[in-house]
Amino acid sequence: MTTTVQNQTILDYLRPYEPEQVGIFGSWARGENRPDSDLDILVKLKKPVALWTFIRMERELSDALSVKVDLVSEGGLTDEVLRQYVFQDLKVISV
pTM of the model: 0.94
Q: Which domain holds residue 8?
A: 4-94
Specify the number of domains making up the chain. Answer: 1
Alpha helices in the chain (DSSP H): 4-14, 27-30, 51-65, 80-89
**Which residues have CB under 8 Å from 9's CB, separation 6+?**
64, 65
> Quick one: how many helices (H) and strands (E) in the chain?
4, 4
Residue 95's pLDDT is what? Answer: 60
Residue 43's pLDDT is what? Answer: 97
Consecutive 10-residue averages of pLDDT for the chain (95 residues):
93 96 96 96 95 97 98 92 92 86
Calpha distance 28→41 (Å, rounded): 10
55: domain CATH number?
3.30.460.10
Bridge-partner residues for 94, per DSSP? 22
